[in-house]
């Protein structure tokens, strides 16, 4: 087991150096003896690692000369392949976003390579490494856990070096904020739903937000702005933060707990991170004997199929899913054709709209 880990770790380290550009195309790799000494492993371990890299096309051997990095950086710009990397593929809003991207790219003679990261940083890095090896003309990517510092910026720098344009969609990394992106104005969206609840007479509003992506942080920011504008004190005890890993359990469990404590810590409404979370909120409230919207008003976000298909149609924020995909594809095509596009056209913030349904009711008569 230890030997397997050693040759695998060596192979992974060399591969990362190649993909990142630290080891350049055509450059000679250190000898087996040098690698053996540097990594403190046997020559047999080195050979196994090099064999894997050779089989995958990263390196090639020349008899009597040594081992060299393959010409992976040679790009013709004529593959007609665009990579689309999203956090998920098969559920919620993602199929509509992809549909919009595919429509524009197909009309312009491109094919798309679909990848998903399951919102994992490691998976995102592996996807980028694989795409750099395959050769693509461009990339549209929804970053994984976009609120957290990105440790594989070198892969995006390699895309820049290879002159492969990329567009961020539905989130971006702070280190790459100047790069082309198409984003929904999530701060405004969070503000709109919170302000709407306040206009109905709600003053005790719980907020449930995702901590590891920029959408969650921005929606929380809008929630805070609306409270401050209305003169309602921000109460951190009324805010629930969750992460990708506990999204299926924590919001529900925390909402059940808060419902049990409602007599001591009263609340009359909930701003949810998205429609999926809103449904979990409603389920928790109902499990604790509360009715929506009679006892508690609930809002969602994204205007997904879930918002209109549930037994309590959700007041939510419209997410122009297909249109967002089309805009991202059009921006990427512009970068491919024209290269340098003005910043005002490279970084687009789409204004959201409130969609009012039946999950909220007025409390004004109760004041």
Is 305 a domain residue? yes
pLDDT at 88: 87
Is the distance from CB of 105 to CB of 49 less than 8 angstroms? no
Q: Which 8-state DSSP code applies to residue 315?
A: B
One domain, residues 221 and 360: yes
One domain, residues 17 and 128: no
Q: Model-level pTM?
A: 0.79
pLDDT 10s digits, 71-120:
654 554 568 999 999 998 877 888 899 999 999 999 999 999 999 999 99
pLDDT 10s digits, 82-92:
999 999 887 78
One domain, residues 102 and 205: no
Looking at 46, 69, 92, the residue that finishes a domain is 69
Q: Which two tokens stand for residue 354?
A: 């409130």
Q: Write the DSSP assignment of 319-346 as a string of letters.
A: --HHHHHHHHHHHHHHHHHHS---HHHH
One domain, residues 229 and 360: yes
pLDDT 10s digits, 141-159:
999 999 999 999 989 988 9
Residue in this structure with the two tokens 């047999």, named with its chain if needed: 44
Is 215 a domain residue? yes
Quote helix, strand, coil % in the chain, to nearest 5. 45, 15, 35
Exposure of 86 by Cβ count < 10 A (0-12 exposed, 13-18 middle, 19+ buried)? buried
Q: Domain containing 53 — which CATH number?
A: 1.10.10.10
One domain, residues 154 and 226: no
Is 150 a domain residue? yes
Q: Which residues contact 91 (CB under 8 A, 6 or more apart)?
A: none
Is 41 a domain residue? yes
Q: Which two tokens stand for residue 91?
A: 């559920």
Is 17 a domain residue? yes
Strands 353-355 and 316-318, by their bridges, are: antiparallel
Q: Which two tokens stand for residue 183?
A: 């984003």
Domain carrying residue 282: 186-319+354-366
pLDDT < 70: residue spans in the chain: 1-4, 71-78, 339-340, 366-367
Say how far apart CA 11 and CA 161 lie, in whole Å.
23
One domain, residues 158 and 196: no
One domain, residues 303 and 202: yes
Closest by Cα among 64, 63, 73 to 27: 73
Is 226 a domain residue? yes
One domain, residues 290 and 339: no
One domain, residues 289 and 267: yes
pLDDT at 338: 76
Looking at 42, 69, 96, the residue that finishes a domain is 69
Looking at 25, 46, 69, the residue that finishes a domain is 69
The half-sphere exposure of 287 on its side-chain side, counting CA atoms within 13 A, is 13
Is 8 a domain residue? yes
Is the distance from CB of 286 to CB of 144 less than 8 angstroms? no
Is 74 a domain residue? no
Q: Which two tokens stand for residue 81?
A: 């392949």
Q: Domain containing 330 — which CATH number?
A: 3.40.50.2300
One domain, residues 312 and 191: yes
- The torsion angles phi and psi of 354, rounded to 5 degrees, stand at -80, 135
Domain count, the chain: 3
One domain, residues 201 and 285: yes
One domain, residues 303 and 232: yes
């Amino acid at each position: 087991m230890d030997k397997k880990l050693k040759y695998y770790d060596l192979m992974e380290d060399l591969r990362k150096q190649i993909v990142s550009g630290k080891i350049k195309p055509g450059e000679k790799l250190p000898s087996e003896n040098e690698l053996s000494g540097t990594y403190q492993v046997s020559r047999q371990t080195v050979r196994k690692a090099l064999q894997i890299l050779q089989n995958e096309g990263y390196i090639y051997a020349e008899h009597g000369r040594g081992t060299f990095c393959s010409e992976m950086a040679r790009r013709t710009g004529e593959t007609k392949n665009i990579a689309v990397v999203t956090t998920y593929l098969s559920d919620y809003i993602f199929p509509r976003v992809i549909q919009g991207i595919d429509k524009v790219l197909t009309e312009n003679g491109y094919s798309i390579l679909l990848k998903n990261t399951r919102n994992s940083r490691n998976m995102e890095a592996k996807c980028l490494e694989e795409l750099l090896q395959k050769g693509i003309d461009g990339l549209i990517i929804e970053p994984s856990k976009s609120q957290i510092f990105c440790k594989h910026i070198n892969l995006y720098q390699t895309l820049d070096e290879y002159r492969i344009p990329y567009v961020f969609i539905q989130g971006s990394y702070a280190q790459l904020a100047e790069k082309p992106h198409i984003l929904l104005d999530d701060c405004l969206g969070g503000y709109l739903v919170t302000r709407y609840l306040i206009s109905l007479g709600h003053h005790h509003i719980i907020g449930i937000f995702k901590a590891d992506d920029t959408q969650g942080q921005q929606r929380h920011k809008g929630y805070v702005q609306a409270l401050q504008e209305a003169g309602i004190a921000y109460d951190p005890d009324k805010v629930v933060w969750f992460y990708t890993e506990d999204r299926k359990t924590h919001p529900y469990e925390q909402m059940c707990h808060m419902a049990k404590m409602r007599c001591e810590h009263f609340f009359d409404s909930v701003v949810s991170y998205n429609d999926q979370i809103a449904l979990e909120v409603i389920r928790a409230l109902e499990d604790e004997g509360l009715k929506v919207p009679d006892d508690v008003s609930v809002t969602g976000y994204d205007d997904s199929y879930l918002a209109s298909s549930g037994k309590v149609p959700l007041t939510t924020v419209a997410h122009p899913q297909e249109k967002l995909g089309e805009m991202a594809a059009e921006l990427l095509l512009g970068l491919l054709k024209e290269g340098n596009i003005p910043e005002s056209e490279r970084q687009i913030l789409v204004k959201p709209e409130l969609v009012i349904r039946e999950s909220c009711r007025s409390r004004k008569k109760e004041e």
